[in-house]
Amino acid sequence: MQPPIIILVRPQMGENIGAAARAMMNFGLKELRLVAPRDGWPNPKAHEMSAHAEHIIEQAKVFETLADALAECQVAFAASARRRDMEIRYYFPETAAQIFVQEDVVSAYVFGPENNGLANEDIALCNGVVTIPTHPDNKSLNIAQSVGVLAYTWFRASQGEQKPLEVGEGVELASQDSLQKLYDYLDGELNVRGFYKTENLRPKMQMNLRALLGRMVITKQEIQTLWGVIATLTRK
Amino acid sequence: MQPPIIILVRPQMGENIGAAARAMMNFGLKELRLVAPRDGWPNPKAHEMSAHAEHIIEQAKVFETLADALAECQVAFAASARRRDMEIRYYFPETAAQIFVQEDVVSAYVFGPENNGLANEDIALCNGVVTIPTHPDNKSLNIAQSVGVLAYTWFRASQGEQKPLEVGEGVELASQDSLQKLYDYLDGELNVRGFYKTENLRPKMQMNLRALLGRMVITKQEIQTLWGVIATLTRK
């Protein structure tokens, strides 16, 4: 699957370009394009902030116009929080990402300068606007944060449905019957020690205690640990 | 709905604290807690990077230990990319956010220092680990980016299902019949001008052109514009 290209139009601060590159790398994006960067290119501050993403900075291409930067792209979405007085489609980040993933084309996210964002003329060159939902009082996202959120949503979409998180080796959830055996043992020990004061209360107390154990979503190792805890507590 | 608290444990750079506060504000998070910040507190660099989120920085509370910072929290997830040699549940950002939203409790996301992340002892104080899926080669996210992604996923979950994006006033999608009328008019004009060279090809060409028009997901205003375009092109 081809990851989307990130295009920064007239970016101002090298630090933001570097931070954007770092976020790109975290989510498997590789290609950065710059349209008329304010402080020229290369920019040492971009290098500095890119952490381990220097190669993205070093391979970044510079263009004079957005049209040049978009030349061979097939689907491009402009990142913008503002509603424009123009006819354009607006997309949620997740929807835009799904479109990129589904089409598997040369795709791009386009970001404007830090002070004013993209001009309407820039947006007219794109296939739509992607808007990151924000709190209505604070819509102005840092540019590297915007790159991070869109790169994240693309990465999630590119993985398909909920690929399980890898956990440590040998970590395995316990089965319900092993939990039930543990509970039965505990219940027996509590019983002989007079935990259930009245027969009336017993069923409800048993049910609640069983539910409490079940709530933990417990591993095989933890079941062993709890056997040990109960055995130790009941040792004479 | 109570937004989650952000707890930064032994944060190192003031710039990152400020950038985290800015991201918090974008997504409606309000309360920042710091556990033993390396460079003391207040920190002018945090102020500087917080953009319009100075109030979050000014109201941030400082604690000596994570246990103190977590005192009245009811559910807390530790942000970590690493698998730990300990028994702990791992959650996707979206799952953790859903749990916070569903329970509507005093909740917190906990982040470790920039160099090493959270210690296992810190993680043992939390209800689980939240892991932001990343490219396997580049798991180390900037701390403010991590705060941004988790704050974003919480904000999305707190809004419930896909609340539609507000678009400009008066923007309304066209109905299928108004598109069909436009197409019929275009087809008629093409027909009298000999666009369909052979009767054989006509049905397929018509279908493809109709599909092309339909693909645009078009507004009422755009339908008007296209009527004008066709009329202009056919004017003698």
pLDDT tens figures, B157-179:
999 766 666 666 667 888 888 99
Reported pTM: 0.86
Tell me what pLDDT residue B162 has.
Answer: 63
**Three-class secondary structure of residue A33 per DSSP:** strand
The average pLDDT across A148-157 equals 97
Q: What is the pLDDT of residue B160?
A: 79
**Tens digit of pLDDT for each residue in B54-112?**
999 999 999 999 999 999 899 999 999 988 887 788 999 999 999 999 888 899 999 99
Contact between chains at B159 and A26 (C-beta distance less than 8 A):
no
Q: Is B43 strand, coil or helix?
A: coil
Least confident of A9-18, A136-145, A157-166: A157-166
Average pLDDT over residues A51-61: 96
Do residues A154 and A27 touch, judged by C-beta distance below 8 A?
yes
Q: B129 pLDDT exceeds 70?
A: yes
Mean of per-residue pLDDT scores for chain B: 91
Residue A158: its chain B contacts at CB < 8 A?
A: none
Report angle CA A7, A12, A18 to the nearest 5 degrees. 65
Residue A96 CA to residue A110 CA, distance in Å, equals 12
Given this model, what pLDDT does residue A103 score?
Answer: 84
A219 contacts B26? CB cut-off 8 A:
no
Q: Which of residues 206-235 of A touch B (CB under 8 A)?
A: 217, 219, 221-222, 225
Using the Cβ of B175 and the Cβ atoms of chain A, whether some distance falls under 8 Å is answered with: no
pLDDT at B217 over 80: no
Name the residue among A87, A236, A97 with its Cα closest to residue B156. Answer: A97
Give the pLDDT confidence score for residue B146 in this predicted structure.
98
pLDDT tens-digit map of A86-130: 778 899 999 999 999 988 889 999 999 999 999 999 998 998 999
From A207's Cα to the closest Cα of chain B, the distance in A is 22
Say if B98 is an interface residue toward chain A (CB within 8 Å): no
pLDDT of residue A86: 78
Separation of CA A140 from chain center: 20
**B114 pLDDT exceeds 90?**
yes
Neighbours of A139 (CB within 10 A): 14
Query: In chain B, what percentage of residues exceed pLDDT 70?
Result: 96
A98 and chain B in contact, CB less than 8 A? no
First to last CA, chain A: 63
- Percent of chain B beyond pLDDT 90? 61
The answer on pLDDT for A41 being more than 90 is yes
ipTM summary value: 0.85
Of A22, A166, A225, the CB nearest to B83: A166
CB spacing of A145 vs B51 below 8 angstroms: no
Judge: B85–A168 Cβ closer than 8 Å, yes or no.
Answer: yes
Segment A64-69 shows an average pLDDT of 96
Q: Any chain B CB within 8 A of the CB of A2?
A: no
Q: Do B140 and A51 touch (CB under 8 A)?
A: yes
The DSSP string of A149-162 is: HHHHHHHHHHT-S-
Q: Which of residues 59-78 of B touch A (CB under 8 A)?
A: none
State mean pLDDT over B47-52.
Answer: 92
pLDDT value at B35 more than 90: yes
pLDDT at B222 over 90: no
Amino acid occupying residue B48: E
Tens of pLDDT, residues A194-226:
888 889 988 988 888 888 888 877 888 889 989
Q: Map A190-230 to HEC letters.
A: HHHCCCCCCCCCHHHHHHHHHHHHHHCCCEHHHHHHHHHHH
